[in-house]
Amino acid sequence: MPEVLVSNLKKKISADQGEDLLGALYRAGIEIESYCGGMGSCGKCVVIIQEGSVSPPNSLEEKHLKEKIKSGFRLACQVKVGGDLSVDISPSYSAKLEVKLEAQTEAAKGELPVKREKFVLSKPPIGKTVSLQDQMEEVLALTQIGQVSWSQQSLLGLSRIAGQKEQSFEAVFDPAKVRWVCPFSGEKDFLGMAFDLGTTTIAGELVDLTSGVSLFRSGALNRQARYGADVISRLRAIQDDPANLARLQELVIKTMDDLIEEACEKTGHDPERIFALSVAGNTIMEHIFLGASPLSIGVAPYTPVFLRERLLDGKELNLSINPEAQVYVFPSIAGYVGGDIVSGLAAYDMMGKKGVTLYVDVGTNGEIVLLDGEKVYCCGTAAGPAFEGAQIYQGTRATLGAISAVEFKDNQLRIFTIGDVSPRGICGTGLIDSLACLVQEKLITPTGRLRGDNSHLKERLREGDKRKFFILSEDPEIVLTQEDISQLQLAKAALQAGREILLKEAQLKEKDIEEVILAGAFGSFINPKSAQIIGLIPRAPRVRSVGNASLLGAKKALLSLEFRRKVSELAQKANYIELSSWSDFQDHFYQSLIFEV
């Protein structure tokens, strides 16, 4: 088996003969930029082959890398490993993704959906046959609920103390099931883990179910990213090979297991003491997580297999938690408005709020929700992956060295990078800021064409290699090209047109919107002013970033049965608008391409 030395990481990995290098890197847990799922179209998975035996460059690599091929630059997804080799992956290495987790409102505790209790059974008098199971149901007041099922483990656990002098147990149960029983050992830990299942990143939070306190939060790049940056690429992978569904499920569960392991290791807890899990994700991610094919969501009329909440056991999904743990999966509204949006809306108690609010989650699929008192209108828009740095000449994920903010002040253009290091590309928030600068400085026309007249920044406009571009950094050179601007323009137009249709349906005007809420990991870091300048969000009196609202909702779902009821009600009441069914959507879209210069 060939050995691959990843020289910049000083790490050796093994690869199969003829395997693509990208696959070998991902299998070894080394993540590099790869937006198109190895199709050779995004040109992001750039590596430098230093020595060794690999396949010759193909036409896709020639198209993306041109002269650089002579210096050993290659696309990892196109390189077939032919023998031992040495590679430098620094041009596309993302390091460990730092998922920025913002301060969140603490979740109030209500009646717990999963409970743990200690109890002692007294021996019944001789002549009266009452099983331990019946005695226990009576003590736990489960008899009032009706038929309660018992896991096999619970009965076996019960049998371990039958006949003992001190019949004290610890039991974990929910309203429908006695899940886990064990002789009481004095163990205090009773834990839950909340997840936001993003297409790009997965965030998890370990929660003490007894106190409601968060113990640890972290995030990781979704291991499925190997198959492409957006949900459409995941659908394509399953369509190409149905066996990929199981592979994708395994990858998402592996990412969740990594986060569980990290949280437990850092806090000194045992994953076996995790008895509840709540999971909020977009509809396609939730389908893949449960192993249900999401293919029907990919084609009109975009029908999901399920929308209602799901309750499962940890063992059904092979998660590294207590096998009897309850796994709660959020309900979705439609194929393109999923459980993550329901979770975020419920977390901030949005339904029934006074005034008109627009809730926006900017992503590859931009979800928009318009709330007017008890009325909820929502849609999903295909914004594309431009805001995630894909389809952008020097676009990158929000990792070390990405330009994350750009400002023009006192006749000076300033860029800010993640980690305050030399820039290596530009991520979504930097792209929005850059575009806002161009609009404000009138360096683009209303239709988005770069123009050089009449601005302090005009000397940054250049032309070369048959393309116009705007220089953000001279050394190293980081530019925004005319094609990049067009991609961003399409993305913002999709979101703008979507919101206009929602307003129409609700018979409201843009000026009626009193507050805009930016949700999602990306939304939290967008400069609201820049977003308003380019028309991504309306110029409402108030704009609030709420961070990962979906994760907060997932945490609340661990702690309150009442919250889960609210979640179900919201999902059922929401009015989903299918944009493709609106005959004038295209008109709105084309009008939304215009910038207010």
Shortest Cβ 15–ligand FES spacing (Å):
16
Q: Which of 2, 38, 331, 380 binds ligand FES (CB under 6 A)?
A: 38
What minimum distance in Å lies between the beta carbon of 175 and ligand FES? 47
Alpha-carbon distance of 428 to 418, in angstroms, equals 12
Measured distance CA(28)–CA(22) in Å, rounded: 10
Q: Does 384 bind ligand FES (CB under 6 A)?
A: no
Where is 285: in which H helix or E strand?
A: helix 283-289
Judged by CB under 6 A, the residue of 13, 26, 34, 331 near ligand FES is 34
Q: Which residues of 352-384 are buried (b: 16+ CB within 10 A; e: fewer)?
A: ebeebbbbbbbbbbbbbbbbbeebbbbbbbbbb
Torsion of CA 332, 334, 340, 342, to 10 degrees: -60
Amino acid at 257: D
Each residue 247-286 as x (binds ligand FES by CB under 6 A) or -, in order, gives ----------------------------------------
φ and ψ at 162, to 5 degrees?
-60, 130
Give SS3 for 506.
coil
Q: What is the 3-state secondary structure (H, E, C) of 293-357?
A: CCHHHCCCCCCCCCCCCEEEEHHHHCCCCCCCCEEEECCCCECCECHHHHHHHHHCCCCCCCCEE
Q: How far is CA 500 from CA 341, 387, 448, 513, 541, in A?
A: 19, 20, 20, 12, 18
Q: In this complex, which beta carbon is closest to ligand FES, that of residue 13 or of residue 516?
A: 13
Least distance (Å) between residue 44 CB and ligand FES: 5
| Closer residue to ligand FES (CB): 15 or 263 | 15
What three-state secondary structure class fits 283?
Answer: helix
- Shortest spacing between CB 287 and ligand FES, in angstroms: 24
Q: Which CB, 40 or 183, lies closer to ligand FES?
A: 40
CB of 73 to ligand FES, least distance (A): 12
Tell me how far, at minimum, the Cβ of 162 lies from ligand FES, in Å: 59
Nearer to ligand FES, 393 or 416 (CB): 393
CB of 334 to ligand FES, least distance (A): 30
Q: Minimum Å distance from CB 75 to ligand FES?
A: 5
Closest CB to ligand FES among 28 and 312? 28
* Closest distance to ligand FES from the beta carbon of 226 (Å): 9
**Cis bond before residue 538 (omega within 30° of 0):** no
Q: Is 35 in the site for ligand FES (CB under 6 A)?
A: yes
Residue closer to ligand FES, measured from CB, 63 or 266 = 63
- Give the count of residues interacting with ligand FES (CB under 6 A): 13
402/262 Cα distance (integer angstroms): 26
Task: Judge residue 62's burial from the number of C-beta atoms within 10 Å of its C-beta, 0-12 exposed, 13-18 middle, 19 or more buried.
Answer: exposed
Given the complex with ligand FES, which of 43 and 538 has the nearer CB atom? Answer: 43
For ligand FES, the closer CB: 34 or 399 = 34
| Residue 38 or 294 with smaller CB distance to ligand FES | 38
Pick from 475, 410, 402: nearest CA to 434: 402
| Residue 233 or 550 having the CB closest to ligand FES | 233
Binders of ligand FES in range 115-144 (CB under 6 A): none
Which CB sits closer to ligand FES, 38 or 520? 38
Q: Which of residues 6, 30, 36, 290 is near ligand FES by CB under 6 A?
A: 36
Q: Of the two residues 39 and 305, which places its CB atom closer to ligand FES in the complex?
A: 39
Contact 465, 482 (CB under 8 A): no
Point out which span in 37-45, 174-182, 191-199, 288-296 binds ligand FES (CB under 6 A). 37-45
Nearer to ligand FES, 79 or 209 (CB): 79
Q: Please report how close the Cβ of residue 36 comes to ligand FES at its closest, in angstroms.
A: 4
DSSP annotation string for 427-489: -HHHHHHHHHHHHHTT-B-TT--B--SS-TTGGGEEEETTEEEEEEETTTTEEEEHHHHHHHH
Q: Which stretch in 38-46, 349-357, 380-388, 435-443 sits in contact with ligand FES by CB under 6 A? A: 38-46
- 42 versus 297: smaller Cβ distance to ligand FES: 42
CB contact set of 332 (below 8 Å; sequence gap of 6+):
282, 283, 286, 304, 307, 338, 339, 342, 571
Task: Single out the residue of 433, 454, 432 nearest to residue 443, CA to CA.
Answer: 454
Residue (of 385, 466, 389) closest to 424 by Cα position: 389
From 31-39, 203-211, 452-460, 517-525, span contacting ligand FES (CB under 6 A): 31-39
Q: Please, what is the minimum distance in Å from the beta carbon of residue 29 to ligand FES?
A: 17
Shortest Å distance, C-beta 11 to ligand FES:
20
Beta strands in 132-213 (DSSP E): 149-150, 168-174, 177-183, 191-197, 201-208
Distances (CA, A) of 349 to 326, 346, 374, 594: 25, 5, 11, 34
Among 75, 112, 386, 537, which residue interacts with ligand FES (rule: CB under 6 A)? 75
Report the distance separating Cα 170 and Cα 562, nearest Å.
25
217 binds ligand FES (CB under 6 A): no
**Tokens standing for 574?**
């929401």
Q: Name the one range near ligand FES by CB under 6 A: 33-41, 212-220, 255-263, 404-412.
A: 33-41
Question: Taking CB under 6 A as the rule, does residue 564 contact ligand FES?
Answer: no
* Least Å from the CB of residue 389 to ligand FES: 12
Instruction: Pick between residue 341 and residue 390 the one whose CB is nearest to ligand FES.
Output: 390
Residues 325-364 that bind ligand FES (CB under 6 A): none
Given a contact cutoff of 8 angstroms between Cβ atoms, the answer to whether 370 and 501 are in contact is: no
Q: Contact between 77 and ligand FES (CB under 6 A)? A: yes
**Smallest distance from the beta carbon of 91 to ligand FES, in angstroms?**
12
Site mask for ligand FES (CB under 6 A), range 40-59, x = bound? xxxxxx--------------
The secondary structure element, H or E, covering residue 12 is strand 11-14
Q: Is 308 exposed, middle or buried (0-12, 13-18, 19+ CB in 10 A)?
A: exposed
Shortest Å, Cβ 63 to ligand FES? 10
Where along the sequence are the contacts to ligand FES (CB under 6 A)?
34-36, 38-45, 75, 77
